[in-house]
Amino acid sequence: MHLLASVLCSLGAVKLCFLLNGVFKDRIELVKKSVKVRLSILTFLVVSADIDSPTNLVATEVTEDTATVSWDPVQAQTEGYMLSYTSAEGSSSDIPVGRDSTSYRLVGLRPGVLHTVYIWAYRGDKVSRKSSTELCLLTITPHAELDAPTNFLAQDETESSLMVYWDRPQAEIDGYILTYSSTEGSSEEILVGSDSTSYMLTGLRPGVLYTVYILAFKGSKASTKISTQAETVGVLYPFPMDCVQIMKNGNKKSGVYTIYIANDRSKPAEVFCDMDTDGGGWLVRMIFKLKIISYLLHILCLSVPSGLDKIYELTNTPTQYELRFDLGLGSERAYAVYDNFKIAPVKQKFKLTIGKYSGTAGDAMTYHQGRPWTTIDSDNDIALGNCALTHRGAWWYKNCHLANLNGKWGDNRHSMVSEQGVNWEPWKGHLTSIDFTEMKIRPLGALSSRKRRSLMAREKSRKTNLQKK
């Protein structure tokens, strides 16, 4: 019945859902009146025509007191979304949701009750029209023939996981239903096999208190629900804003991690962190929603606005970032480091700010200081033609470049054709297309291996001088 009711609810069969959950027809009529009142109030809201509404609002993973709602994002620029829901028992307060979110887990709902969920987008004092969907929550009645699991406890907590253990009930069962919720409002339901007596919860937030519930079931019968609580291990930076803070949280391996721009939990971004080069903590590339992995600034012309907007948000904080270029040609390697890096917003065409150079590759980027971003359809260089067209890339071109890391890859011929290639002029000239580049940033002042070597050399010199005395 649990599964049947879920299916009927998801298909919108509200009346039958209520019958399956023991709710009478007069309750439905009361809900309809409540919804009508709500809709009449909506007509007095001032909506903006230039903000489209979220679409395809649906409810999934419906349990007795939780549900996940998901939607397709709006096309217009917004500051975020607002969610609310109503039922025969009242209305919720508005729930703010981040602008990059496309789903939200509602918790603390009333079992066996029809809920109407609303969502709308906002920007300043402007709002879109509201989209809505209905969901009916399940009612699970404990059955006297099924005893509950016992000795339910949580152990082995880490930053992102914990183990729960229990003893089997005496009755024959089909399995268990585990659910958990946190002080942050997250919740999930998990089906566990009847032979299991433990389960590892993963993907948890560090330093958060979780309440975990378990019940046994057989067919449509369920035991009473029991619970335990545990807190995941805390970290120095719960919402790290760069790879250095990721590293200070104890992550020493290069790989994909989640950062939060300006430590804002509503602005997550998946990135690749290099924890090996020159002391580690380098943010090498950002991973976008379309699952296209792009080097930090190696972004195709058509995707420039979304990519560079993210990099603008990332670098325009009180933290000053250094920028490193790692270059290669065959087995040869060189690097260039600049002690300041940021870009301007789109209104200023992502104008480049670059700092003082150090390294082995030669200084190619100071030439591009203060230049706006040029693409094939936005010519902002000072050359007679469009440098993005003539050099097959998008870059902070001037007239045209000393560095062209978005040029044509794979052209290693020593001819004028290679001026369309991937160039770093001070190292290999305009006529050689290099075959390896990486651009990476980290906060200035992070403890690099260069600094560690310098500190070790000073300490060795100090000890030598003391021995001489």
Which CATH number do you get for residue 176? 2.60.40.10
Can you read off the two tokens belonging to residue 223? 């035991």
Indicate if 320 and 397 belong to the same structural domain.
Answer: yes
| Cα 155 to the center of its chain, rounded Å | 28
Predicted local distance difference test score (pLDDT) of residue 448: 56
N-terminal to C-terminal alpha carbon distance within the chain:
87
Q: What is the DSSP string of 374-421?
A: BBTTB--SSSSS-HHHHTTS-B--SSS-SEETTSBTT---SSGGGGGB
Do 175 and 310 share a structural domain?
Answer: no
Residues 6+ apart with CB under 8 A from 19: none
My answer on whether 119 and 188 are in the same domain is no
Domain contains 30: no
Which segments of the chain have a pLDDT < 50? Answer: 1-45, 289-305, 413-418, 451-456, 458-459, 462-463, 466, 469
What is the total count of domains within the chain?
3
Pair (268, 371) in one structural domain: yes
Is the pTM of the predicted complex or chain greater than 0.85? Answer: no
Q: Are residues 339 and 412 in the same domain?
A: yes
Task: Look up tokens 């369920």; give the residue.
Answer: 222
Q: Is residue 291 part of a domain?
A: yes
Give the residue ranges of DSSP H helices in 299-372.
304-315
Measured distance CA(327)–CA(98) in Å, rounded: 38
pLDDT of residue 465: 53
The amino acid occupying position 444 is L
Phi, psi of 22 (to 5 degrees): 75, 30
- Please indicate, yes or no, whether residues 203 and 296 belong to a single structural domain of this protein: no
* Other beta carbons within 10 Å of 380: 18
Residues 220, 366 within the same domain: no
308 shares a domain with 201: no
Among candidate residues 232, 258, 283, the one where a domain is terminated:
232
Instruction: Evaluate whether residue 333 is within a structural domain.
Output: yes
Q: Which helix (H) or strand (E) holds 9?
A: helix 2-10
131 inside domain:
yes
Helix or strand holding residue 359 (H, E): strand 357-359
Q: In terms of domains, do 105 and 186 share one?
A: no
179 and 296 in a single domain? The answer is no
Residue 191 included in any domain: yes
The answer to whether residues 250 and 228 belong to one domain is: no
Answer whether residue 450 is part of any domain: no
The confidence score (pLDDT) of residue 396 equals: 95
- The residue among 232, 252, 280 that closes a domain is 232
Domain holding 352, by residue range, is 243-443
In a domain, 466, yes or no: no
Q: Are residues 276 and 401 in the same domain?
A: yes
**Radius of gyration from C-alpha coordinates of the chain:** 29
